[in-house]
Amino acid sequence: MAAKRLLVLLAVYGMLLANLGGGVAQSSTEWWLDDEGLSATGGASVVLRQATATWCDVCKVSDPIIIDFAEAKRTNIVRIAIHPQDGIDPLGTSMSTRQAWLLADRAPSELEYPTSWFDDTDGLTGQLSSEQLQREMLRAQGARQTESLSMSIARISEPGALDSHYLDFEVSGFSSEGTLSLFITEDSVDIGDLANNMNGIRIHQDVLRAGFIVNATAEEIDWEDRLIFQEPNVGVGQRSWGFDFETEVSHLGLELWLNPEWNVENLNFIIIHEADGGNVLSAMALPGERSTATGVIGTTTLVIGVLVLGGLLLAVPATFWAKVAETRSADADAYQKNAESEE
């Protein structure tokens, strides 16, 4: 039995050593500095747009539940926090105002906070439980006819400008209908002492910072006609637009200028393709995770696991052979006694 346990431990030890060489996952800082940037395919993410506010007392309780839910679902959910541009909430933007108008069909000042929209469903007001969030996510997934999107982002290096805030952005795979939106959200936004006069929450996640909306038609039109709306906080310059008539998918390439006040390590880039009627056809996000702490901890845990298991492997053979020696000694004594009794 001890020998079998030793073989099992050796096998596990070998597998852990084989997987140890993978290293730490690339962090958001690394992709920003890497010339190749970051790219992925997707499109099946459910969009959770939530009207929230720094002064909303109910949001103080409801937001953490929604944030934890979105983090647990990873790429299944893309959350966008829409703050009102009301002169009170410091996180409001004109893009937030436009989104609230489109989703609720009324002024943001008339909204009940919080209100949550899953894809293009009617808004749900008030605090939501994890069970309600799960049900709405599954409902949105069931109604979706998903496209396969490809998305990439990379920093544009400028000679003599190490802190360049220009991005090369590309997306392809969407059909020639409706609108295509790029939203830029920021995590871990600290409003500082302003929180004391609000609901007390200093750090806010998934804050909608900026973005733009374009017409996704395959028709050859000028960029001025294609661009439907642009947040003043982000500069947009067209690089390329194309439509493949064989595959019936489009491609969009842009140059983006980011506000240097944003923490690029905490930025998320969200693509949403919507039909003319407002139905969400596809959505995805990059980088896709709030932080890289999980990846680092995972690798560290693996190292610790190998070290601990290695210690067991060093200890087990010693105890195993000690036990064998003890057993052999006992057997030898018993044999000797039997031999003496027979005589």
Shared domain check, 189 and 120: yes
Q: Which of the listed residues 291, 312, 328 is the one where a domain comes to its end? A: 291
Shared domain check, 310 and 190: no
268 pLDDT above the threshold of 60: yes
Give the pLDDT confidence of 81-117 residue by residue, as tens digits. 999 999 999 999 999 999 999 898 888 888 999 999 9
144 pLDDT above the threshold of 60: yes
Here the CATH number for the domain that contains residue 74 is: 3.40.30.10
Shared domain check, 216 and 187: yes
Which helix (H) or strand (E) segment holds residue 342: the answer is helix 293-342
Q: 283 versus 224: which is more confidently predicted?
A: 283
Shared domain check, 191 and 313: no
Shared domain check, 54 and 8: no
339 pLDDT above the threshold of 60: no
Which residue bears the tokens 């044999």? 335
Q: What mean pLDDT is reported for the chain?
A: 76
Q: What is the reported pLDDT for 34?
A: 60
Shared domain check, 116 and 265: yes
**Helix (H), strand (E), coil (C) string for 222-290:** CHHHHEEEECCCCEEEEEEEEEECCCCEEEEEEEEECCCCCCHHHEEEEEEEECCCCCEEEEEEECCCC
Give the pLDDT confidence of 11-44 residue by residue, as tens digits. 433 433 333 333 333 344 565 556 668 888 999 9
Among 57-61, 209-213, 249-253, 324-328, top mean pLDDT goes to 57-61
Shared domain check, 317 and 278: no
Shared domain check, 305 and 239: no
Q: 25 versus 279: which is more confidently predicted?
A: 279
Shared domain check, 333 and 211: no
Q: What is the reported pLDDT for 271?
A: 94
Q: What is the reported pLDDT for 164?
A: 60
Q: Measured between alpha carbons, how far is 52 from 125 in angstroms, rounded to an integer? A: 10
140 pLDDT above the threshold of 50: yes
Q: 111 versus 167: which is more confidently predicted?
A: 111
> Helices in 35-111 by DSSP H: which ranges?
57-73, 94-104
Shared domain check, 11 and 137: no
Q: 206 versus 295: which is more confidently predicted?
A: 206
What Rg do the C-alpha atoms of the chain give, in angstroms?
28
Q: 320, 23 in Cβ contact below 8 A?
A: no
278 pLDDT above the threshold of 90: no
Q: Measured between alpha carbons, how far is 117 from 101 in angstroms, rounded to an integer? A: 13
Shared domain check, 43 and 78: yes
Q: What is the reported pLDDT for 12?
A: 39
Q: What is the reported pLDDT for 183?
A: 94
Q: Measured between alpha carbons, how far is 159 from 98 in angstroms, rounded to an integer? A: 37
What average pLDDT does range 113-141 have in this prediction? 94
pLDDT band at 194 (very low <50, low <70, confident <90, very high): very high
* DSSP-derived 3-state class of residue 303: helix
Give the pLDDT confidence of 228-258 residue by residue, as tens digits. 998 876 777 767 788 777 777 788 888 888 8
Range of the domain at 263: 28-291
pLDDT band at 259 (very low <50, low <70, confident <90, very high): confident
What average pLDDT does range 258-273 have in this prediction? 89
DSSP string for residues in 180-227: EEEEEEESSEE-GGGGGGTTS--EE-SEEEEEEEEE--SS---HHHHE
Q: What is the reported pLDDT for 328?
A: 43
Q: Measured between alpha carbons, how far is 178 from 275 in angstroms, rounded to an integer? A: 4
| The total number of structural domains that make up the chain | 2
What average pLDDT does range 187-216 have in this prediction? 95
Shared domain check, 238 and 203: yes
Q: Which of the listed residues 249, 270, 291 is the one where a domain comes to its end? A: 291
